[in-house]
Chain A
Amino acid sequence: MSVRQSLLAILNQGPCYGYQLRAEFDRRTGSTWPLNVGQIYNTLDRLERDGLVQKADIDADGQNYVEITDAGRAEVADWLGSPVVRTMATRDELAIKLAIAVTLPGVDIAQVIQVQRTATMRTLQELTRAKNATADPESSEQLAWLLVIDSLIFAAEAEARWLDHSEHRLARARAAGLAAPLPLNTAVPKRGRPAKTAAASA
């Protein structure tokens, strides 16, 4: 989704060929989420199918250029003008891990949280080092890179804060006698194929 629109936005500056698009995407995002050429061509195929780009010239080196269409330009304007809506569709691995872990017997949740906290803080330390090495950006590429790093830093910070918060919440729950493991629920409504014996006795 954002790859599709990013490539389209880059094409809005002028026709490009596949490898060139990949390089442009990389240098504008600090090479943080490198794309492979396959992804680029797949995306271009879909953009062409949807009428947002079309084939342009083939240059002397045999590079196939792609150019944006009017519909493509409108899509770019639309993308820049509207908010990115984060959906619940992308599962948060960590939230799921903790949520499951609290329901299991014999799991030291404080330890699970601490292991994660240490890893998160190490990430944050590395990002901070990288950022501090470039306090003042000297080019647009560096500026873009710093924006991406800042975003990763704030995301890691949010994760650390959430871990602290979860730890407090669990401590309170434990003090209140909650936070007991969930036994398997045998009374769940059954779906799908009933067991043969059950069918026979019915």
Chain B
Amino acid sequence: MTGSDILLQLDGVSMQYGCGETAITALAGVDLSVRCGELVAVMGASGSGKSTLLTVAGGLTPPTAGEVIVEGHWLSQLSARELATLRRRSLGFVFQDFNLIPSLTALENVSLPLELDGWTSKRAHRPAVDALNIVELGDRAQHFPSDLSGGQQQRVAIARAVVGGRSLILADEPTGALDSTTGELVLRMLRSRVDAGAGGILVTHDARHAAWADRIVFLRDGRIVDESRASAVTSLLSGLPA
């Protein structure tokens, strides 16, 4: 493996919550890598460890064993400060429960990661507006999360995850609260970011959405039990009529 185009690598990652008798093993020796231009879907039953995998991959919690490597950086070797910077610059996170800041408008929520990274709010304005436009919420820029529907909040969260062109997007059920057309909009956006060179992990229980990925890994009890890779040429159809 040359490693040069690998954005994310999980090496033997395990995660245990609690200890002793009541310990729960959420991940058990997961190996997974995501390259530039690759979208990986993660599927599995509720409680199989999907969200845990994303949190660990995004450096939000250290694994109890194994190593997470993002853009060549071993997360375990970074200081808290370096880790925070890497997360801000390189990672876009869409949480299962959106995690918007209630006292900020949609636009402010989206531009926040840029401003935290030292951009002036003036400079952050344009890309934030663009990101909101992509998720078709340009007209809701000044609304607070409490005034938005669940699906709209989810779209704001997605705009926040992709703003500023971060290289690795980690999305936990990003289409969960969306109808099928809006869900497709989000997938198309995710797909186009990835096709432009980013990498992404998409956690979803929706088979039709997972099918947008280049690779699908199946988690069961914290282990990757199988993987489906789309072949370059489809054998199923004779192709598009002219």
Which residues of A are in contact with B by a Cβ distance under 8 Å?
A: 27, 30-32, 34, 110, 114-115, 117-130, 132-134, 139, 141-142, 144-145, 149, 152-154, 156-157, 160-161, 164, 167-168
Contacts and interface: CB of A to CB of B under 8 A. Distances in A.
A122 B229 contact: yes
Contacts of A168: 45
Interface stretch (B21-29, B107-115, B116-124, B208-216): B208-216
Contacts of A30: 237-238, 241
B230 A129 contact: yes
**At the interface, is chain A mostly helix, strand, loop or mixed?**
helix
Contact of B45 (A27, A122, A128, A164): A164
> Sorted from nearest, which 8 A-B pairs have the closest CB atoms?
A160-B207, A125-B230, A141-B241, A124-B211, A128-B211, A126-B234, A31-B238, A121-B228
Interface centre among A110, A133, A157 (most CB of B within 10 A): A157
A120 B208 CA distance: 11
Contacts of B19: none
Contacts of B225: 114
Given A30-B241, A132-B191, A134-B240, 20 more contacts: A31-B238, A31-B239, A114-B225, A117-B226, A118-B228, A119-B228, A120-B207, A121-B43, A122-B231, A124-B207, A124-B210, A126-B230, A127-B237, A142-B241, A144-B241, A145-B241, A152-B236, A157-B207, A161-B207, A164-B45
Contact of B236 (A114, A115, A121, A123): A123
Contacts of B147: none
Interface string B195-228: 0000000000101101111101010100001111
B2 to A, nearest CB: 26
Contact of A122 (B205, B220, B228, B237): B228
A98 to B, nearest CB: 17
A128 B228 contact: no
B226 A118 contact: yes
A139 B241 contact: yes
Contact of A167 (B45, B191, B226, B227): B45
Contacts of A127: 211, 234, 236-237
A149 B239 CA distance: 10
A125 B208 contact: no
A129 B228 contact: no
A66 B211 CA distance: 44
A142 B242 CA distance: 7
A156 B228 CA distance: 14
A120 B205 CA distance: 14
B79 interface: no
A149 B229 CA distance: 20
A31 B241 contact: yes
Contacts of A124: 207-208, 210-211
Interface in B94-117: none
Contacts of B236: 123, 126-127, 130, 152
Given A125-B216, A133-B240, A156 B234 contact: no
A133 to B, nearest CB: 7
A173 to B, nearest CB: 15
A123 B211 CA distance: 9
B237 A121 contact: no
Contacts of A117: 218, 226
Interface centre among A117, A119, A120, A152 (most CB of B within 10 A): A117
A132 B210 CA distance: 14
A133 B195 CA distance: 13
Given A27-B241, A31-B238, A126-B234, A121 B210 contact: yes
Interface string B56-80: 0000000000000000000000000
25 contacts: A27-B241, A34-B238, A110-B220, A114-B220, A117-B218, A118-B227, A120-B207, A121-B43, A122-B229, A123-B236, A124-B208, A125-B213, A125-B216, A126-B230, A126-B234, A127-B211, A128-B211, A130-B236, A134-B240, A139-B241, A142-B241, A144-B241, A145-B240, A145-B241, A164-B205
